[in-house]
Copies of this chain bind each other. A is one copy, B any other.
């Protein structure tokens, strides 16, 4: 195992470099003074060059080849297999393209940010065109089975093909879109109304969020919760940080972003220490990542049982809440509305926002849409799926940062993860008959321990479809999610769905 050991050492140093990148980016988003931005860009660019060089080095290649010939156990073999996959993907891209993408990125983000602020899509269009061309080139370098979108998707969801996603999304479109319409049309009462006009100081919201995420099992000794413009999770091993945002007029954004990110964070914290800095110390895919965050955010965090346990905490943090009552709060955190912005969408409508992005992205990567058509196509699809038409591009196709960051193929994983939550929770309930009692009495460790032993500990050992099959005994199905939504929202809004 001499080569394997040396490979693990090399991966350790690559891991260190990538952790450094996480800290620098985290710092940039949370605390960095504004005048540090110029240097930070140079630091990150230098770091990515150093990482790319090592990730594509002949040393690494040699170690992989030698390790493949050694006697290894199943876990070790999957470490070598995934390392090889990473290496092969990394060497496929010419350094000039990697550099070009890195150089375009900050410019595209800046243009997007300005365009979004000023509702000026034409300002962003040339940069989007450039990013798209680069991503098409990336797809050509990586290669693909049916369509270049396979290569885009594969960056976030390894081994999953566009055609498989299409099957799932077609069913969603057929069965879920009409269901959501029935719910939206059936909403007679605005469950947010009783909480309008209230004030919740930021620091108290952060206190409450910390209590909640600690309560569900996020390890604050190996992580932190801070504020940032957009919530995110970063880091690995013993330092996995999450961020949230705060709206002082509404508790929902801070609470549910915190619980969501803590769900991501707990997945990463659940990797086994002996596999830190190897592919088994990394998340398997973004759909699985999202299944963990959404499970805690929605299935647990928006459940009646969860608030049965935590309502007293809300009241003790914000005494003015007492008179509203727990049941009104439960309805508030589950209020359903047609809305333009994906990140503000409720649990019911969220997937519709993904459907439209998936369609547009496929046409983009496939070269079947002119950039200038995107705003129009976006708005048409919003009308078709959500039933409202954006009044401008800021609340339309300019709302998300993803494309400016070259992240094309990322969006579908949000919906795939969403769908998986209900399927996983169904299996969890079967494995733990007392699960719902546990939740309503604040006992979250049985569920977390189960997720750890079923999913987290494996890192990248299994793909998303393999993991789905292992954990739930069947491939991903939309039924579980549809039934979950029917049952929960039928009761909530008094509808027979």
Contacts and interface: CB of A to CB of B under 8 A. Distances in A.
A220 interface: yes
Nearest to A43: B16
For chain A, what secondary structure do more than half of its interface residues adopt (helix, strand, loop), or is it mixed? helix
A224 interface: yes
Most buried by B among A221, A235, A239: A239
User: Which 10 residue pairs spanning A and B have beta carbons closest together?
Assistant: A36-B239, A35-B238, A35-B222, A16-B43, A16-B46, A36-B238, A16-B42, A34-B221, A39-B237, A35-B221
Interface stretch (A24-32, A95-103, A206-214, A458-466): A24-32
A179 interface: no
A20 B43 contact: yes
Interface string A228-253: 00000001011101000000000000
A224 B46 contact: no
Given A20-B43, A27-B27, A42-B16, A33 B237 contact: no
5 contacts: A16-B39, A16-B42, A19-B43, A31-B224, A36-B222
Contacts of A40: 239
Interface in A199-223: 219-223
A397 to B, nearest CB: 33
A319 interface: no
Interface of A: 12-13, 16-17, 19-20, 23-24, 27, 31-40, 42-43, 46-47, 50, 219-224, 235, 237-239, 241
Q: Quick one: copies of this chain in the complex?
A: 2
A224 B50 CA distance: 29
Contacts of A219: 35
A39 B237 CA distance: 8
Contacts of A50: 50
B20 A238 contact: no
Given A20-B24, A20-B47, A238-B35, A42 B12 contact: yes
Given A38-B238, A40-B239, 8 more contacts: A16-B39, A20-B24, A23-B24, A33-B220, A35-B222, A35-B237, A36-B237, A39-B239
A33 B37 CA distance: 24
Nearest to A238: B35
Given A23-B27, A24-B23, A27-B23, A238 B13 contact: no
Contacts of A17: 46
Contacts of A46: 13, 16-17
